[in-house]
Chain A
Amino acid sequence: MSLLIKGGRVVDPANGLDGVADVLVSDGRIAKVGRGLKAPEGAHVVTATGQVVCPGLIDIHVHLREPGYEYKETIASGTRAAAAGGFTAVACMANTLPVNDNRSVTDYILAKARVEGVVRVYPIGAVTRGLKGKELAEMAELAEAGCVAFSDDGQCVMNAEIYRRAMEYALPFGAPIISHAEDEHLAHRGAMHEGFVSTELGLLGQPAAAEEVMVARDILLAELTGAHVHLAHLSTAGAVRLVREGKARGVRVTAEVTPHHLVLTDDAVREYDPNTKMAPPLRTKRDVEAVLEGLLDGTIDCIATDHAPHALSEKEGEFSECANGVVGLETAVPVLLDRLVRTGVMDLPTLVARLSSGPARLLNLPGGSLAPGAPADITVLDLERAWTVEPSRFRSRARNTPFAGWTGTGAVALTVVGGKVVTA
């Protein structure tokens, strides 16, 4: 079975390509990229004139909620949301019920994904048993079963000794430890960023330092152990500075940023809308500028959505009582194309790199490239397509987005996984 995507602008940062070309796929792999390619007999031909053809986008930070929280999201609905949003692969966090801290859970997730999923699913194993921060999870078996990284995301491993041991123990597996950097004492259950807006709203805030002290600690532990530490959802100017310094010193530290931390500030919380509540919280304009700068200069390696679906009942009501987190899979690409690329803040190849080759490299995933032989995971973008965010039309089971009602231009036209069109 072959597929020919004709006449699009091929943007493939991993191979330094940016120009009009055809992409030929056969047997689930990229066969050839070039001009004037002929369609083999029986090939499915897609015309992409005026559109952008790039490596399939990869989101290394999502919560698929299955097993255990199927009322929020399932592997079926979450991967459909991913496909609709242009993502051909996702890495799912371990805070399911039961926690993905042993291989039977990993096996279950992978089996479900094979049968019900429409994009590639890479499980992330827990660092500690039950995410409790006390004893190490069985990381060797988790790695063997297919976990591509380890993280207690949602929780911060407060005990630095345990965390140090986890980093050391994981060294042979070549899989990074992903940190949710949030000092639980300093954060003291703050529902938003601590600053002028929290003062006005009378909401308990958590200071930027709650994130930064843990970023600093984890960089020092990475330096001590030689481990690769990846920092999830970097959100403060100070954290960006620490990562930049760490990288300059040669520490194996990498980082991601979410779309919402790139385009929203704590001003968005003013209406007490629980869909502006997440961890880490929305920060100030200065922080937004700093994470953007970090993303542009490569201090921040990739964009990840931290797709965190919740049921409506968990996201309506008193702000301080509502669950943390927002969905992101179906809004990330349109919002970033409109607010960053269309405004000229970031060029398209850089955005594509931060969403494909960047994350692929971090987790040693196949993909992120259109080189011949690579898996035929392809995303086609239409930079002229106008959109409005309508949560009721999400493929995700959840509706908790801070972007409801937003409009813009530039969207996903087609998502191809293993040579097969998964959304049209």
Chain B
Amino acid sequence: MAWTRKDLVSMQDIEAAEIGEVLDTAESMKEIATREIKKVPTLRGKTVVNLFYEASTRTRTSFEIAGKWLSADVINFSASGSSAEKGESFLDTARNIEAMSPDVVVVRHKAAGGPALLARHLRCSVINAGDGAHEHPTQALLDLLTIREKKGHLEGLNVTIVGDIAHSRVARSNIYAMRRMGMTVTVAGPPTLIPPACQELGVKVSHRLEESIAHADVIMMLRLQHERMTGGFIPSLREYSRVWGLGLDRLQHCRPDVLIMHPGPVNRGIEISPEVADSQYSVILDQVTNGVAVRMAVLYLLAGGKAA
């Protein structure tokens, strides 16, 4: 099927066939990374603007590499040192960038709904690279690609997402995408970090780590933001790590073929022990590798298809 979307803002309304298309395309893109000359002319003459209002190394770099390997011109715009600091509004900045005729704007913003706002106002394609606690679609796609590679399929798998679900855009995008692909999702964490009415998203909710991961095919550990302590969500990192940290001891009761994932950056020793992060179960670096492939696929499907 052909991708007809202008934007990729949310996983909530994406069809399974569309996800399949991205994953298949990404798989074929992976080969490029193995070449000596890592460049194909697919997006030559296209301009991709990375509009990042929030610090990000991994995602921005990943999009930049993806664009460059496809021969697009990639321009990085970060809010610090730009007109955003001089008080220009988000929409004004975006309109100014559009006046320079980019083909794709990749946006990260601390405010949920920021990318949706841009998508409504801009004629070019908009990719959500993470908006507040809302969504991070390409993260979910790269997670699915990684799981499909390792397990051979997606349907019927049990996934447990552990940690700060309330503030996690990764959790939301994954919940929508995984449910769409026929997977069973459990979220686990202390009640203060589970958002209200979470079950209505179609997930199971657990407040006990061991119980929640016992039958999991995939365990996804989320980063715990340090500021959660001052917000009264948890008493201390020490207690969080003791109750919710994933160490080798806890893995003993899990399936022997369980995959451990983490969207990064990892707080070693807090939500995940170094031994687990570096264990044979961990696919954390595969996720990063697949991130480039998935972003190449998304850029290609949004910007490449139209010109053809």
Contacts and interface: CB of A to CB of B under 8 A. Distances in A.
Contacts of B195: 198-199
Interface stretch (A135-143, A161-169, A200-208): A200-208
B204 to A, nearest CB: 15
A41 interface: no
Interface string A110-132: 00000000000000000000000
Interface stretch (B35-43, B112-120, B143-151, B239-247): B112-120
A194 B194 CA distance: 13
Which of the listed residues B111, B132, B133, B172 has the most CB atoms from chain A within 10 Å of its own CB? B111
A199 B91 contact: no
A204 B231 CA distance: 13
Given A195-B196, A272-B112, A272-B113, A201 B90 contact: no
A317 interface: yes
A317 B112 contact: no
B91 to A, nearest CB: 6
B197 interface: yes
B201 interface: yes
B134 interface: yes
Interface in A187-201: 194-196, 198-201
Contact of B12 (A199, A200, A203, A207): A200
B109 interface: yes
A321 B197 contact: no
Contacts of A321: 111
A319 B196 contact: no
A203 B196 contact: no
A198 B113 contact: no
Contact of A272 (B89, B116, B196, B198): B116
A419 to B, nearest CB: 47
B197 A196 contact: yes
Contact of A199 (B113, B117, B131, B196): B196
B196 A318 contact: no
A205 B200 CA distance: 16
A418 B71 CA distance: 73
Given A202-B172, A203-B112, A317 B196 contact: no
Given A202-B169, A272-B116, A317 B132 contact: no
Given A196-B196, A272-B117, A317-B89, A201 B134 contact: yes
A196 B91 contact: no
B89 A313 contact: yes
Interface in B1-30: 12
A62 B201 CA distance: 39
A199 B90 contact: no
A319 B197 contact: no
A316 B200 CA distance: 30
B135 interface: yes
Contact of B200 (A196, A207, A318): A196
B117 to A, nearest CB: 6
B201 A199 contact: yes
Given A203-B112, A317-B90, A318-B109, A198 B196 contact: yes
A405 to B, nearest CB: 15
A162 B80 CA distance: 43
A202 B196 CA distance: 11
B113 A195 contact: no
Given A194-B196, A199-B198, A272-B116, A318 B134 contact: no
A318 B111 contact: yes
A416 to B, nearest CB: 43
Contacts of B135: 202
A225 B113 CA distance: 45
Interface string A136-177: 000000000000000000000000000000000000000000
Nearest to B168: A202
A49 interface: no
A265 interface: no
A321 B169 CA distance: 19
A317 B116 CA distance: 10
B105 to A, nearest CB: 16
B140 to A, nearest CB: 14
Given A316-B91, A319-B112, A202 B200 contact: no
Contact of B111 (A194, A200, A207, A319): A319
B133 to A, nearest CB: 4
Interface string A317-348: 11111000000000000000000000000000
A318 B172 contact: no
Contacts of B169: 202
Contacts of A319: 111-113
B115 to A, nearest CB: 10
A320 B89 contact: no
Contacts of A194: 196
Contact of B133 (A202, A271, A316): A202
Contact of B197 (A195, A202, A316, A318): A195
A318 B90 CA distance: 8
B113 A201 contact: yes
A313 B111 CA distance: 17
B198 A320 contact: no
A318 B108 CA distance: 12
A271 B109 CA distance: 16
Given A199-B198, A201-B134, A202-B134, A317 B172 contact: no
A200 B201 contact: yes
A317 B198 contact: no
B136 to A, nearest CB: 10
A317 B134 contact: no
A203 B132 CA distance: 8
Contacts of A205: 196
Nearest to B89: A317
Which of the listed residues B12, B117, B134 has the most CB atoms from chain A within 10 Å of its own CB? B117
Which of the listed residues A202, A203, A204 has the most CB atoms from chain B within 10 Å of its own CB? A202
Given A202-B133, A205-B196, A318-B109, 10 more contacts: A199-B198, A199-B201, A200-B172, A201-B134, A202-B135, A272-B112, A316-B89, A317-B117, A318-B90, A318-B113
8 contacts: A195-B197, A201-B134, A202-B134, A203-B112, A272-B116, A317-B90, A317-B117, A319-B111
**Top 9 closest A-B pairs, CB basis?**
A202-B134, A272-B113, A318-B111, A196-B197, A202-B133, A202-B112, A199-B195, A319-B113, A196-B200
Interface of A: 194-196, 198-205, 207, 271-272, 313, 316-321
Interface of B: 12, 89-91, 109, 111-114, 116-117, 131-135, 169, 172, 195-198, 200-201
